Structure 1
Amino acid sequence: MSAPSLQSFQEQVSELLLRHRSLLDVMSKNGQSSSSVNRAVTKSITECGCIQLYAKKQKFGSNLQQAKENSTNHVHGQLCEHCREAISSELGRNLFYISALCSQLGINLDDVLQKESEKCSTLGLFNLS
Structure 2
Amino acid sequence: MKDIIFDDFQNSVSDSLVRHKSILDILTKYSESSSRVNRAIAKSVTNCGCVNINASKQNSLNEDKSIDDLSACLSSHLNGEICENCREIIEREIGNNIFYLTSLCNNLNINLYDVLLKEYNRINTLGKFNLR
Q: Place the TM-score, normalised by the shorter chain, in its bin.
A: over 0.9
- Is residue 60–residue 66 contact of structure 1 (8 Å, CA) maintained in 2? no
Give per-residue Cα distances to partners, 1:26-82, cap 9 Å, x unaligned: 111000000000000000001110000011122253223432222221110000111
Match in the other structure for 1:88:
91
Length, aligned pairs only: 127
- Is residue 67–residue 128 contact of structure 2 (8 Å, CA) maintained in 1? no
Partners of 1:80 and 1:52 lie apart in 2 by 12
Match in the other structure for 2:79:
76
Structure 1's consecutive aligned runs of 4 or more residues displaced over 3 angstroms after TM superposition are none
Q: Alpha carbon RMSD of aligned pairs, Å?
A: 1.5
- Is residue 40–residue 89 contact of structure 2 (8 Å, CA) maintained in 1? yes
Match in the other structure for 2:119:
116
Match in the other structure for 1:40:
40
In structure 1, the gaps of 5 or more residues are: none
Partners of 1:60 and 1:69 lie apart in 2 by 11
What is the identity percentage for the equivalent residue pairs of Structure 1 and Structure 2? 45
Partners of 2:117 and 2:107 lie apart in 1 by 19
2:69 alignment partner AA: Q
- Is residue 60–residue 67 contact of structure 1 (8 Å, CA) maintained in 2? no
Partners of 2:60 and 2:111 lie apart in 1 by 37
Partners of 1:127 and 1:65 lie apart in 2 by 12
In structure 2, the gaps of 5 or more residues are: none
Q: TM-score, normalised by structure 2?
A: 0.90
Mean CA deviation greater in 71-80 or 52-61? 52-61
Match in the other structure for 2:21:
21
